[in-house]
Structure 1
Amino acid sequence: MMECTRRSRILACGSALPRRVVGSAELAGELGIRTEAIVRLSGIHERHIASEDEATAGLALSAAQTALQRSGLKGDDIDLVIVATATPDRTLPASAVRVQAGLGTTRGAAFDVQAACSGFIHALAIADYMLRLGEAETAVVVGAETTSRIVDQTDAATAMLFGDGAGAVILQAAHHDRVTRDTPGILSTHLRADGRYEDFLRTDGGPSSTGQVGVIRMNGAEVFRHALMKLAAVAREALSKNGLSAEDIRWVVPHQANLRIIEPLASALQIPLDKFVLTIKKHGNTSAASIPLALDEAVTDGRIRSGDLLLFDAMGAGLTWGAALVRW
């Protein structure tokens, strides 16, 4: 008898955004710069900013609950919870255990992953590995951030970029006699890092070094240069691994870092910009939450349909980066 092959498939998505919306005009007044400069430099018109009573774990739980409800499953069906975040509620325990408890899940594993803006792809890859190896059957994978908490509000270069929010997916192992590149699910994930460049995007503090969380410091020119090279390279690697080409991609769901990075990436990959799911205009850079937030919007509004080939692509502090190919 032929042994069945397991593939992880996304069953449903969910998202959550803070109540407060801060337009670029309001932010421009606070920073002492022109609204047009923010829009021109980033493509961002507004972003959601968490209030005092809104925190990462709560946003993560809300997004996960929506995804779980849409999947038709219950908390008891979940045996793995992974939250990608660089802004947890507490140093410990992990935000994932709060999500686990809130979903009513009492078995399996729950932990956080920290890979900054590429965190969601890292978390998705880990969940995929565990499901394909039989370590779990059904996972909740969340990207959630309150990055506004660690932004220097006097530094226009970073303060204009970041917003808060959470996005989640329900991932379940599916059994097939044979899998091909047309079989629904995650085709492959590709994770990379190069710690030589850690100072290009970092915080200036931490519990062990200063006893303070610190705020974001960024060398924008170097981040831009490396982002374009590394995002294009890892996307091509993912396509080559699966015997696919850029023409096969229906939708690119990129990390929503900056429109000035996404536009040249589209050109480098020779994929029309109208095949990119873009939410940066209204969400800003939500770090690990940006891909699942954009994914949820495109699934909800009907753009993403059964059989579509999706490319997830992200780079973050570390430097860390990665890509994933998903057949919807």
Structure 2
Amino acid sequence: MSAVTTAGLGGGNVGVLGTGSCLPERRVGSAEVADLLGVDLRWIAERIGVRERRFAEPGETASQLATGAALRALEAAGVAVGELDAVVVATSTPDRPIPGVAARLQAAIGAHGSLAFDVNASCAGFLFAVETGRGLLAADPRRDYVLVVAADTYSRYLNPADRRTYPLFGDGAGAVVLGRVPDGEGILTTELITDGRMAEYATGGPPVASTPEELAGGKHHIAMSGRDVAELVLAEFPRLVTDTAKEQGIEPADLDHVICHQANPRLLESCARTVDLAPRQLVITGDLVANTASASVPIGLDVAARDGRIRPGDAVLLITFGAGMSWGRTFLRWPAAAGQSQRIKENA
């Protein structure tokens, strides 16, 4: 599939104006996980690379984590809540099936009157939500800002006896504020793919028609064919990187930051070596927060933006993978400054 060139479509270029993230307070170290599973701590370190993850406390929800991330992103962007035109939330672990997390988030931050809805593409959901938000801005020049948040609490569906999944996941939320940016900046290309023939590679959550017996038997637990998922990631990651470089007329070495879904830090390091990415190019957060599902890419983006790694003009490639199977990429040039879209509007 060819990437869609998004720069300049409809309402002009759209970029990230601010980032934010939010993690639960509860820390769960890999030593605790190793003891629970009856495995050697070195096995987790060598095979997975996760030292710590955060688990939501009982009663702590995806919408609460989303609220924390959203407020930080709005502050970083210099955008007031009342200026938001839409709120798009990526999640596969909503507080409840009805209503969506976006509605609760909209109320929590006071974005009354904005469009608000959820997107579910599992761990890949963030880039699907970003493309949705970009499309909303491109479709209507009267819209100025879209808040995109990814939030998941996969710990609710983990089987503490399953060594294939329990060490991998954590909970968290990440957010970005999208707005208009100058030509040559912001989101330049996006490629999103879903292949439902791989739907059974990763599943989780209670079946809609589940019985008490099924729930007692663990039918709601996350189940994953790690080998099949790893094969897809190992095959597609190099292509996503090289295709992006070719489209932009650069080499993979010219990418300043590659922020990928943190499925497994060790797997990502292996993927990076296949296209000769230097360690400095690859943003790794999974060692400290594990796989936070749809939130993993925006959390990585927020960490890199706040610690000064990402600078204006940097070439940033976002890559995601998730159940479905769904995967994709978004390439962007980092905008010159937060709030840049407001200055464009004022000077128009």
Query: Are 1:231 and 1:321, in contact at CA under 8 Å, matched by a contact in 2?
Result: no
Distance in structure 1 (CA, Å) of the matches to 2:140 and 2:278? 38
5 Å-filtered alignment, 1:178-327, equals 179=183, 183-203=184-204, 205-208=206-209, 214-327=220-333
Distance in structure 1 (CA, Å) of the matches to 2:240 and 2:33? 34
Distance in structure 2 (CA, Å) of the matches to 1:153 and 1:41? 18
The alignment of Structure 1 onto Structure 2 pairs a total of residues equal to 320
Distance in structure 1 (CA, Å) of the matches to 2:96 and 2:204? 17
State the one-letter code of the partner of 1:168. A
Q: 1:153 aligns to what?
A: 160
Distance in structure 1 (CA, Å) of the matches to 2:155 and 2:242? 33
Report the alpha carbon displacement of residue 93 of structure 1 after superposing the two structures with TM. Answer: 1.0
Query: Are 2:10 and 2:138, in contact at CA under 8 Å, matched by a contact in 1?
Result: no
Q: Secondary structure at the match of 2:60?
A: coil
Distance in structure 1 (CA, Å) of the matches to 2:156 and 2:252? 38
Identity %: 38
Q: Provide TM-score, normalisation by structure 2.
A: 0.88
Q: Provide TM-score, normalisation by structure 1.
A: 0.93
Deviates more, 1:8-17 or 1:240-249: 240-249
State the one-letter code of the partner of 1:199. E
State the one-letter code of the partner of 1:192. I
State the one-letter code of the partner of 1:229. A
Q: 1:58 aligns to what?
A: 64
Report the alpha carbon displacement of residue 209 of structure 1 after superposing the two structures with TM. Answer: 5.9
Match of 1:67 among 64, 73, 77: 73
Q: Secondary structure at the match of 2:123?
A: helix
1:139-182 deviation digits (Å, cap 9, x = unpaired): 111111101001111101100000000010111123x5xx3xxx
Q: Which runs of 5+ in 2 are unaligned?
A: 1-8, 335-348
5 Å-filtered alignment, 1:121-136, equals 121-134=127-140, 136=143
Does 2:178 align with 1:171? yes
5 Å-filtered alignment, 1:111-130, equals 111-130=117-136
Query: Are 1:137 and 1:173, in contact at CA under 8 Å, matched by a contact in 2?
Result: yes
Q: 1:17 aligns to what?
A: 23
Distance in structure 2 (CA, Å) of the matches to 1:202 and 1:223? 12
Q: Which runs of 5+ in 1 are unaligned?
A: none
Report the alpha carbon displacement of residue 304 of structure 1 after superposing the two structures with TM. Answer: 0.6
Q: Secondary structure at the match of 1:159?
A: coil
State the one-letter code of the partner of 1:34. D
